[in-house]
Amino acid sequence: MDLIFDKSTKGRRGVIPQKSDVPTTVNIKAEFLRSSDAALPEVSELDVVRHFTALSRRNFGVDNNFYPLGSCTMKYNPKVTERIASYPGFAHLHPLMPQLRMGGLLTQGALEVLYDVDKFLSEIAGMAGFTTQPMAGAHGELCGIMIMVAYHRDKGNKKTTVLIPDSAHGTNPASAAIAGYKVVSVPSNDKGVMDIKALKQMVNSETAGIMLTCPNTVGIFEPDIKEICDIIHSVDGLAYYDGANLNAIVGKARPGDFGFDIVHINLHKTFATPHGGGGPGAGPVGVVEKLRDYLPVSIVVKRADGTFALEYDRPKSIGYIAPFYGNFAVILKAYVYILMLGEEGLKRVAENAVLNANYIKHKLKDYYDLPFGQVCKHECVFSAARQSAGGIHALDIAKGLIDRGFHPPTVYFPSIVKEAMMIEPTETESKETMDLFIEAMIDIAKMAQNQPETLKAAPISTPVGRLDETAAAKNVDIAEL
């Protein structure tokens, strides 16, 4: 595909520039001025539209491809939530506008949304209160760990370690380490869940808490979850819930009822905002009653006259962790989505997520190794160990899927599974779509056995073929135009 600069023809233009309203008398320092005109391509409107439309078709996107990417994102983007988030009353609202005086009524709707989302998430997670400030899941983790630090400091507890499963998301140990804790890894047993005997031996008076995802990263619900929380509480530790896999239990079970003290929820994973590529995201954090005083300022409160305002007088708060009130557009889309689904709709999310994952697990178990055979939740983890014996690895299978029009699943994670392939169909995919994916995976399994060299060359149908990813990471080639 030619660069748009290659399509440039001198004198051709697709737009008639408007006269600038910048005063010509403005004295701009020479160091800030270009030494020559910007080297822009000269193309027609049709050239521009066709070029960027063709470019967009070379990418995978949630609107034209199935994303079976495990432990990542909801991959569902209902257009009604996008439309409401773009309403001028929300989209054009400046966060510095007054809350109550001087036209403060303009901000009351936004404050009400934040207040209601706090209440919605508190009910869904079984918490006493939430902050919507964190801008992503990892940011929510850090906020939660900061609350853990504040709690122990306030009580005079001398805590030094945080326990984290060996199958945890990589951001869990990173967040704990940033907060100053030593990370201790708890091993999994042969069933893919936390080894409760090992946990009991590791817990001591210096244990600040545990960070746990449930269902875990192999898609299995921790059967000893209540006992795990009780063990941590026995040394005045706090149980932290990573909400990355909430889709599997949303509306069905509440982390707070298991015994968790702190919860972060990825709105972009469970409530209608595909994440991907680093943003946009939102990771609200909820806490039980004894931790409410430590939540970040400010908190939206409802006054006696029914109006909403921000409360700043919270002496034990960990302070601000993000500007203003978080990623408001993402919070707004989650608000709309929750209202649309209601209690019964949220339950169906969990039911369909679990049904879809187990359907794929059942259909592919004869073609790929299944390290843990029990009923899974929203995702299932296979191993390409069988194929690797013949020289085909999980990466080759992932590349083969690209040629068949599917985004690859997560590979090589979690690390406790050799040649891991983590597949999450989500609750939104139809049986017909999953059947096409299953057919492709079976075809690839057969190709791995009969035509391994052909598979190792994949992808061959894309604009760019198989890359040396290690070399690309080590030798970054950055071009400056």
The pair of three-digit structure tokens given for residue 235, joined into one six-digit string? 């040394």
Of residues 327, 340, 360, the one with CA closest to residue 427: 360
**What is the phi/psi pair of residue 477, to 5°?**
-110, 105
Q: With contact defined as beta carbons under 8 Å apart, do 69 and 410 qualify?
A: yes
CATH 3.90.1150.10 residue ranges of the chain are 349-462
CATH 3.40.640.10 residue ranges of the chain are 81-340
Three-class secondary structure of residue 87 per DSSP: coil
DSSP 299: E
- Note the pLDDT tens digit of each residue in 252-293: 999 999 999 999 999 988 998 765 545 578 999 999 999 999
**Other C-beta atoms lying within 10 Å of the C-beta of residue 180:** 12
Distance CA 377, CA 16 (A): 56
Distance CA 41, CA 7 (A): 8
Distance CA 208, CA 178 (A): 14
DSSP 89: H
pTM: 0.89
Task: Return the pLDDT at 476.
Answer: 83
**Other C-beta atoms lying within 10 Å of the C-beta of residue 36:** 6
Three-class secondary structure of residue 423 per DSSP: strand
| The CATH number of domain 349-462, selected from 3.40.50.1100, 3.90.1150.10, 3.10.450.50, 2.30.42.10 | 3.90.1150.10
Distance CA 171, CA 260 (A): 19
CB within 8 A of 171, min separation 6: which ones? 137, 138, 141
Task: Return the pLDDT at 148.
Answer: 98
Give the residue ranges of the chain where pLDDT is below 50.
277, 481
Distance of CA 41 to the CA centre of its chain: 37
**What is the phi/psi pair of residue 254, to 5°?**
-120, 130
CB within 8 A of 189, min separation 6: which ones? 195
**Other C-beta atoms lying within 10 Å of the C-beta of residue 313:** 8
Task: Return the pLDDT at 104.
Answer: 59
Quickly list DSSP for 204-252: -TTEEEEEEESS-TTS---TTHHHHHHHHHTTT-EEEEEGGGGGGTTTT
The pair of three-digit structure tokens given for residue 159, joined into one six-digit string? 């805590």
Task: Return the pLDDT at 74.
Answer: 59
Q: What's the CATH fold of domain 81-340?
A: Aspartate Aminotransferase; domain 2 (3.40.640)
Say how many residues make up the chain. Answer: 481
Q: CA dist 77 to 121, 270, 359, 451, Å?
A: 20, 11, 23, 38
Distance CA 12, CA 112 (A): 51
Distance CA 107, CA 102 (A): 11
Task: Return the pLDDT at 279.
Answer: 59
Strands 410-411 and 420-423: antiparallel
Beta-bridge mates of residue 209: 162, 238
The pair of three-digit structure tokens given for residue 472, joined into one six-digit string? 């690309």
Distance CA 472, CA 232 (A): 44
DSSP 168: S
